[in-house]
Amino acid sequence: MLSKEIRKDFPILDQEINGYPLVYLDSAATSQKPRQVIEAITNYYKYDNSNVHRGVHTLGNRATEGYEGAREKVRKFINAKSTQEVIFMRGATTALNTVAQGYGRQNVEEGDEIVITHMEHHSNIIPWQQLAKEKGAILKYVDLEEDGTLSLDKVRETVTDRTKIVSIMYVSNVLGTMNPIKEITEIAHAHGAIMVVDGAQAAPHLKIDVQKLDCDFLAFSGHKMCGPTGIGVLYGKKDLLNKMEPVEFGGEMIDFVGLYESTWKELPWKFEGGTPIIAGAIGLGAAIDYLEQIGLDEIEKHEHELAGYAMDRMSSIEGLTIYGPKDPGKRAGLVTFNLDNVHPHDVATVLDMNGIAVRAGHHCAQPLMKWLDVSATARASFYLYNTEEDVDRLVEGLRIAKEYFE
Ligand code: 7TS
């Protein structure tokens, strides 16, 4: 387990909700922010604020250094070969849409296949549905195993020579499943398809190495990994990005503008139209510094331990169903569950009355809810600042909820 001292870095955790000390178990939706990140953003606005890439003045140069410095931090964080492969955008959703519109429109034709799975987040479903409709392509789903994992055999059965794109989440935001991305990428490449990875729930919790995975694109959001909202990353292999058309046009992304024709800047700026998300990128850079100083391997270990402890303790509650893999080693730090005969919204409301924040609903995964045959679930998700005491409070809160509704 990580040190409890970490909690002190997160000022928001030091408060009472409804008369109880806050237990925050909704980090899969968005994580809390450490003082170091809040200060990096405040300091940027206090001392360095300016537009980037165009100034000859000192503030402009400082802002540019902060922004481009953050890009280098992201490059190292995911082990990309070059900063040209790191594009800042609003978040995972925008990044996935950019691939669907930029790469997809250019490369997918009628009758081609796009392969996703039943566990995807809406952000990794709808961009492909739209592309498939536009192009007359076929959207195919890899079915899940009973425990909510993916079998490589089923991936092999689904991907064919007509498949142009395989797009799969690294870690599930509902089941906690960690998918074998490297092996799936090999299958996609063997059929000449590209591999897109939705890394929204992976980047905060485990070490990602895009060169080892050999994926073609990777999308993630800053706000789930201790960074601010409104900043995210699209990683793409340089040769693919070079061939891909931008999807946003305007200032910042151009080289030459004529009356009827224009040309684009080189990578990565070709995809960053308009004044970029400067403070957001600097905040994300500070978040990466913070996570790396603690260690992604340590964070992953901490979460496996907490998930294991939570699953152990929660399974002692009668009438409580936990979804996803039973082996805590096979899942990230979250537990999705239902209490018999109590709607998850009611569970979450009683927990909130006791100072405990969990999420209830479909978690932006309606096809997965259908697969699980439920309309909604409750979800407790953990991060580096959570402790065994938080899990104890959750279990106590669930007992109160059960008594209340019985
Ligand atoms: N992909 C996955 C796997 C996610 O969990 C999320 C957000 C997204 C994509 C979209 O990220 P965004 O930052 O662009 O919104 N997941 C959740 C969640 O589980 N609860 O709230 C948001």
| pLDDT at residue 165 in the model | 99
C-beta of 381 in contact with ligand 1 (< 6 A): no
Looking at ligand 1, which residue's alpha carbon is closest to its atom 16? Answer: 29
C-beta of 117 in contact with ligand 1 (< 6 A): no
Q: How many Å lie between the centroid of ligand 1 and the Cα of residue 176?
A: 13
**pLDDT tens digits, 351-395:** 999 999 999 999 999 999 999 999 999 999 999 999 999 999 999
Per-residue pLDDT at 55 exceeds 80: no
User: Catalytic residue at 364?
Assistant: yes
C-beta of 97 in contact with ligand 1 (< 6 A): no
| pLDDT at residue 406 in the model | 84
C-beta of 178 in contact with ligand 1 (< 6 A): no
Ligand 1 atom at minimum distance from 26 CA? 20
Q: How many Å lie between the centroid of ligand 1 and the Cα of residue 386?
A: 20
Dihedral of alpha carbons 305, 146, 368, 168, sign: positive
Domain annotation for the chain: domains and CATH numbers:
4-25+296-405 (3.90.1150.10), 50-292 (3.40.640.10)
Q: Which DSSP symbol is given to 198?
A: E
Ligand 1 atom at minimum distance from 381 CA? 19
Opening angle at CA 399, ends 393 and 405, nearest 5: 135
Looking at ligand 1, which residue's alpha carbon is closest to its atom 6? Answer: 200
Mutate to test the pocket of ligand 1, among 31, 123, 368, 383 (most ligand atoms within 8 A of CB): 123
Looking at ligand 1, which residue's alpha carbon is closest to its atom 5? Answer: 173
**Exposure b/e, 20-59, CB count within 10 A at least 16 = b:** eebbbbbbbbbbbbbeebbebbeebeeebebbbeeeeeee
Q: What share of the chain is helix, strand, coil (3-state, %, to 5)?
A: 45, 20, 35
Q: What is the band of 272 on the pLDDT scale with cuts at 50, 70, 90? A: very high
Q: What is the band of 37 on the pLDDT scale with cuts at 50, 70, 90? A: very high
C-beta of 225 in contact with ligand 1 (< 6 A): no
> pTM to 2 decimals?
0.98
**pLDDT tens digits, 197-209:** 999 999 999 999 9
Nearest to residue 134, comparing CAs of 180, 168, 97?
Answer: 97
Among 141-150, 225-234, 325-334, which stretch is predicted with the lowest mean pLDDT? Answer: 325-334
